[in-house]
Amino acid sequence: MSVQPYPLHFKPEFKERVWGGRALEAFGFDVPAGAIGEGWMIADHPNGVSHVTNGAFAGQGLDDIRRQVGEAWFGKKGAASANGRFPLLIKLLDCNDDLSIQVHPNDTYEKLPQGELGKTEMWYVLDAKPDAKIIYGLKPGVDRARMAQAIEEGRIMDCLQEVSVKAGDTFYIPAGTVHALCAGVLVAEIQQNSDTTYRLYDYDRPGLDGKPRELHIEDSLNVTAYEDSGAERMDTSGATAGEWLTLAKSPYFKTDKGVVRGPWTLSTHADSFVILIVCEGSGTIGWESGLVDAKAGDCFLLPANLGAYTLDGSMTVLRSLLP
């Protein structure tokens, strides 16, 4: 089947989490009952695959589409990741309660689950309550021995840095960075296509099944970057309309923020697909043969061979591609 390239819009895969809530309903999604913490917006993983809502591929999963159109649509760098699947995983997270204190491995950790990659990620804060905060890295001087002792003595929080957050803040979280989102934060997350998380602490609370969730102390101690993990934060409130502000550049993705105020003509390139996340406002995405509406919460995958496209309206977007 020969299909002309067009922006793919996806129906999220929703995940119930003990820390989730109902905030994703504000984007107009049909959110299932329960404490919904994650919307997997663009996903091609054994634990969740998102399906296209529009155009010739409507109803098909990202995994099937990738196999049909391959490099032409996904780019020389984006046809598949090291585990043979789509390279990135895009989420919206509703943190109605604190997430566990956690850390992610890198690609070379010898105890990675079969078929899994490491997990470098970034957060863009879409909304935050006035007193919202996150856990972001270790306090200076914390090494493995000190953290292991603090865990043993039930005082891991003494080792961690708390950071206040507001809408528009960005946090880059390389593998090895100890971190946790806290209550009252809504974020967009761009990450490697991985679902591997090691928990250090979960506030001694029961999971959705009423039992304590598993901790992974030894793995966490093994993969933590005790010196400089490379984590960086940014206040992006100064972004200029019609110019890309680079938020994160990793070996796995490059993400920019763009403020759209009227027509802004851009282009894809043969190396990589482009992912657009609409953070606020509304508008359109136009290309040679069509136009699609875009509003806050929408996530689009623009094929590498789409060519020229135009963003229009009044909206803030994140653009992610492979470096």
Q: What is the dihedral of CA 160, 179, 215, 50, to 10 degrees?
A: 170
Task: Give the Å distances, CA to CA, from 57 to 2, 39, 51, 80, 170.
Answer: 11, 21, 9, 19, 33
Q: Please give the backbone phi and psi of residue 156, each rounded to the nearest 5 degrees, phi first.
A: -60, -30
The rounded distance, in Å, linking the Cα atoms of 201 and 134 is 14
- How many of the other CB atoms lie within 10 Å of CB of 218? 11
Task: Give the Å distances, CA to CA, from 172 to 40, 85, 185.
Answer: 19, 23, 16
Question: Residues 229, 233, 239, CA angle at the centre, nearest 5°?
Answer: 145
Task: Give the Å distances, CA to CA, from 290 to 4, 14, 54, 69, 268.
Answer: 11, 29, 12, 20, 16
The rounded distance, in Å, linking the Cα atoms of 316 and 320 is 13
Nearest to 191 by CA among 246, 245, 117: 117
The rounded distance, in Å, linking the Cα atoms of 123 and 277 is 12
Q: Is 137 left (phi over 0), alpha (psi -120 to 50) or beta?
A: left
Give the catalytic positions in this structure.
Answer: 199
